[in-house]
């Protein structure tokens, strides 16, 4: 898509005299061509490691050990994927990652949206206002601070497993998500809710039928961030989950660092399979990802 | 009616208290004991804290982590700001370029660290040998003095996208008229960048610096994937030192370490709140 857009717009007719003034900003009629070229060159820094991952993954073991990382695979081989599938027990790791991530996303959206609605509509009551700041306080609490006690506590209550990991993921996502939802609900008009209540609808019905549907765009942002945080997390599952057969995909990748260190094609095929879902989700939802970062940081 | 609102909020509060607050209080309490993680323990006051001050393992992990965080914050912000300036100018393929530059944000830190670990230990030495550089011909990861640069590089690679998005939002919030007026007065594009863009996004710089510093102090995944704290303990972060409390028998001692770490995080959090509040009231 990059190539195509770049090629079809054609050469810009920019008068030499004006162009010097417009080097970094450009105007509608006079696009900034040097800037475009510089940025295209910079994308190499992003794409090169990903390119290396893909080419390595499709090589044979013999090709992968010769050290020519950036050469194209010849012949194309899927033996790395087959072997990675078996070595990491991919279906099980994938299922556990999907489970943890699904529970995290659903739990975060449900708990945070309800809590935020309650807080936003009762801001004048001290209990709700205090709860808001209480939940928010954890936004800056680093996991390493809690790790030792959490590992101990989850072990004591038999949550040293994917269920416990998902629960902790929800709790760590709660601050950021409640913050986003609360700001969003404050911007929603209250008239609809009030008229529904006059007609006898309960708070729960109002939330489910009126408020939550209106929150959908923010729910998408919250869900994507919960998905990315949970799918990609390494620290928490690696510490909390006691049984190594119940590990998520990122943690499973360490097997290639210790046991199978020379089968690079297998390792890279495995890395690719573990990172691909996040990349695919990102490509389809980038609008919300981009909005979410700025809203979260600035508000 | 009002009761339902409590039902909406209270489950979150209860779970949150059990999962976050209780471990935090427990950790801070145990930091004043000689617990090894199980069995009997007794309160020993500030002994753990006093011991930390002269513990070379702790001090070197703080030294490494803070130094690494400072350098990374600098690298991330310079690169992200320049990219944001480029990506908000009238370039072609803007959407596609933004999509590519944000991509690293969504990849798992541990996996990208494994990929780079391979590139640093195989591809870069090959390149180094070809261009005749003795330093690069050896693996940077095994070089006690330079291993940290690989961690800075990969951390920056992954952290630039979110800083970039914040800078893009900041630059887009500057009204166009300001630039038009400056252009009419004959200000060069460099001049406009330094005298208009930079001062007007100063608030966003501060936000990015604080968020970045907070995140980089937590460094763990990328270090585990690249150097695992080595060579020796040259790249061991505070988080890794705290986790050593699981195995090293100094459980309560590392709780004290975690508590100090927590206090640093609180200071950064208060700083960020103050800055974002200040910014909100201005706009």
Quickly state the pLDDT bin for B184 (edges 50, 70, 90). Answer: confident
Average pLDDT, chain A: 86
Which range is most confident: A104-113, B49-58, B242-251?
A: A104-113
Please say whether the beta carbons of B59 and B145 come within 8 A. Answer: no
Please say whether the beta carbons of A109 and A219 come within 8 A. Answer: yes
Determine whether the interchain pair B92/A117 forms a contact, defined as Cβ–Cβ distance below 8 Å: no
Quickly state the pLDDT bin for A1 (edges 50, 70, 90). Answer: very low
3-state helix, strand, coil in chain B (%, to 5): 80, 0, 20
User: Coil, helix or strand for B43?
Assistant: strand
Query: Which residues from B are below 8 Å from A27, CB to CB?
Result: 90
Determine the pLDDT at residue A47: 95
Provide the β-strand partners of residue B33: B43
Cα distance from B145 to chain A (closest Cα, Å)?
23
Quickly state the pLDDT bin for A22 (edges 50, 70, 90). Answer: very low
Which residue's structure tokens are 């943890």?
Answer: A100
Cα distance from B127 to chain A (closest Cα, Å)?
11
Q: Return residues 17-56 of A near B (CB < 8 Å).
A: 21-28, 30-33, 35-36, 38-40, 42-43, 45-47, 49-50, 52-53, 56
Which of B4, B9, B126 lies at the smallest CB-CB distance from A131?
A: B9
Mean pLDDT in residue range B35-56: 90
Provide the β-strand partners of residue B85: none
Question: CB neighbours (10 Å) of residue A206?
Answer: 21
Query: Which residues from A are below 8 Å from B8, CB to CB?
Result: 114-115, 117-118, 203, 207
Determine whether the interchain pair A239/B245 forms a contact, defined as Cβ–Cβ distance below 8 Å: no
Q: Using CA atoms, how far apart are residues A222 and B253, in angstroms rounded to an integer?
A: 37
Over residues B200-234, the pLDDT tens digits come to 999 899 989 988 998 999 999 999 999 999 898 99
Higher pLDDT, A248 or A287: A248
- Is some CB atom of chain B closer than 8 A to the CB atom of A234? yes
Structure tokens at B275: 């800055």
Determine the pLDDT at residue A144: 86
Determine the pLDDT at residue B187: 83
Average pLDDT, chain B: 90
pLDDT > 90: percent of chain A: 64
The 3-state secondary structure of A56-75 reads HHCCCHHHHCCCCCCCCCCC
Chosen for mutation from A114, A149, A198 (greatest number of chain B CBs closer than 10 Å) is A149
Query: In this model, does residue A123 exceed pLDDT 90?
Result: yes
The full DSSP string for A224-293 is HHHHHHHHH--HHHHHH---GGG--HHHHTTHHHHT-TT-HHHHHHHHHHHHHHHHHHHHHHHHHHHHHH
Higher pLDDT, A25 or B234: B234
Mean pLDDT in residue range B64-86: 96
Over residues B100-153, the pLDDT tens digits come to 999 999 999 999 999 999 999 888 888 888 888 888 888 899 899 999 999 999
Question: CB neighbours (10 Å) of residue B145?
Answer: 10
Please say whether the beta carbons of A160 and A151 come within 8 A. Answer: yes
Determine whether the interchain pair A167/B109 forms a contact, defined as Cβ–Cβ distance below 8 Å: no
Q: Return residues 239-268 of A near B (CB < 8 Å).
A: 239, 250-251, 253-254, 256-257, 264, 267-268
Q: What is the pTM of this model?
A: 0.89
Q: Using CA atoms, how far apart are residues A31 and A37, in angstroms rounded to an integer?
A: 11
Query: In this model, does residue A286 exceed pLDDT 90?
Result: no
Over residues A146-200, the pLDDT tens digits come to 988 999 999 999 999 999 999 999 999 999 999 999 999 999 999 989 999 999 8
Determine the pLDDT at residue B7: 94
Number of cross-chain residue pairs from A and B with Cβ atoms under 8 Å apart: 298
Quickly state the pLDDT bin for A19 (edges 50, 70, 90). Answer: very low
Determine whether the interchain pair A146/B24 forms a contact, defined as Cβ–Cβ distance below 8 Å: yes
Which of B13, B85, B93 lies at the smallest CB-CB distance from A6?
A: B93
Determine the pLDDT at residue B136: 85
Query: In this model, does residue B49 exceed pLDDT 90?
Result: yes
Determine the pLDDT at residue B279: 58
A222-226, A272-276, B78-82, B89-93: the lowest-pLDDT one: B89-93
pLDDT > 70: percent of chain A: 88
Query: Which residues from B are below 8 Å from A2, CB to CB?
Result: 93, 96-97, 100
Determine the pLDDT at residue A23: 42
Determine whether the interchain pair B262/A150 forms a contact, defined as Cβ–Cβ distance below 8 Å: no
Query: In this model, does residue B283 exceed pLDDT 50?
Result: no
Q: What are the CA-CA distances from residue B113 to residues B67, B159, B161, B224, B226 (Å)?
A: 20, 13, 16, 8, 5
Q: Using CA atoms, how far apart are residues A102 and A80, in angstroms rounded to an integer?
A: 28
Which of B91, B262, B272 lies at the smallest CB-CB distance from A39?
A: B91
Name the residue among A237, A232, A208, A228 with its Cα closest to residue A296. A228
Which backbone phi and psi does A292 adopt, to 5 degrees?
-60, -45
Question: CB neighbours (10 Å) of residue A153?
Answer: 18
Determine the pLDDT at residue A259: 73
Over residues B259-276, the pLDDT tens digits come to 999 999 888 888 877 877
């Amino acid at each position: 898509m990059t190539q195509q857009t770049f090629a079809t717009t054609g050469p810009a007719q920019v008068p030499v005299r004006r162009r010097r003034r417009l080097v970094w900003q450009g105007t509608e009629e006079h696009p900034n061509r040097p800037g475009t070229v510089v940025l295209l060159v910079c994308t190499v820094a992003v794409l090169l490691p990903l390119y290396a991952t893909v080419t390595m993954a499709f090589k044979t073991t013999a090709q992968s050990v010769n050290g020519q990382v950036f050469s194209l695979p010849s012949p194309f081989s899927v033996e790395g994927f087959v072997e990675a599938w078996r070595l990491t027990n991919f279906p099980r790791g994938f299922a556990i990652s999907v489970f943890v991530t699904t529970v995290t996303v659903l739990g975060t959206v449900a708990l945070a949206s309800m809590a935020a609605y309650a807080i936003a509509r009762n801001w004048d009551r001290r209990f709700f206002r205090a709860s808001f700041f209480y939940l928010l306080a954890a936004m800056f609490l680093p996991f390493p601070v809690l790790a030792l006690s959490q590992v101990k506590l989850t072990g004591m209550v038999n949550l040293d497993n994917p269920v416990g990991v998902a629960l902790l993921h929800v709790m760590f996502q709660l601050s950021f998500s409640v913050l986003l939802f609360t700001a969003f609900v404050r911007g929603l008009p209250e008239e609809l809710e009030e008229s529904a209540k006059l007609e006898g609808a309960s708070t729960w019905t109002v939330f489910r039928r009126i408020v939550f549907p209106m929150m959908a765009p923010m729910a998408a942002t919250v869900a994507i961030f919960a998905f990315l945080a949970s799918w990609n997390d390494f620290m928490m599952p690696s510490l909390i989950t006691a049984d190594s057969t119940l590990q998520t995909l990122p943690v499973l990748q360490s097997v290639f660092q210790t046991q199978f260190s020379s089968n690079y094609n297998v390792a890279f095929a495995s890395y690719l399979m573990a990172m691909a879902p996040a990349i695919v989700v990102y490509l389809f939802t980038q609008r919300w990802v981009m909005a979410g970062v700025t809203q979260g940081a600035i508000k | 009616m009002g009761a339902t609102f409590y039902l909406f909020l209270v489950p979150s509060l209860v779970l949150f208290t059990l999962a976050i607050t209780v471990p935090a209080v427990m950790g801070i309490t145990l930091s004043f004991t000689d617990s090894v993680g199980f069995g009997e323990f007794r309160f020993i006051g500030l002994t753990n804290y006093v011991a930390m001050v002269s513990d070379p393992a702790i001090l070197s992990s703080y030294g490494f982590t803070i130094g690494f965080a400072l350098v990374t914050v600098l690298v991330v912000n310079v690169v992200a700001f320049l990219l944001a300036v480029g990506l908000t100018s009238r370039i072609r393929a803007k959407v596609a370029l933004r999509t590519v530059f944000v991509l690293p944000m969504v990849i798992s830190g541990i996996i990208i660290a494994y990929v780079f670990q391979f590139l640093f230990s195989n591809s870069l030495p090959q390149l180094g040998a070809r261009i005749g550089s003795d330093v690069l011909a050896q693996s940077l990861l095994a070089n006690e003095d330079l291993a940290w640069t690989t961690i800075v590089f990969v951390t920056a690679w992954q952290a630039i996208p979110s800083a970039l998005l914040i800078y893009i939002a900041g630059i887009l919030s500057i009204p166009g008229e300001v630039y038009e007026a400056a252009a009419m007065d004959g200000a060069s594009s460099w001049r406009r960048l330094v005298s208009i863009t930079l001062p007007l996004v100063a608030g966003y710089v501060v936000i990015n610096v604080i968020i970045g510093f907070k995140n980089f102090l937590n460094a763990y995944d990328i270090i585990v994937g690249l150097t695992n704290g080595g060579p020796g303990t040259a790249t061991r972060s505070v988080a890794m030192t705290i986790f050593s409390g699981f195995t090293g028998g100094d459980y309560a001692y590392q709780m004290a370490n975690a508590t100090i770490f927590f206090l640093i995080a609180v200071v950064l959090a208060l700083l960020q709140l103050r800055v974002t509040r200040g910014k909100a009231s201005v706009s």
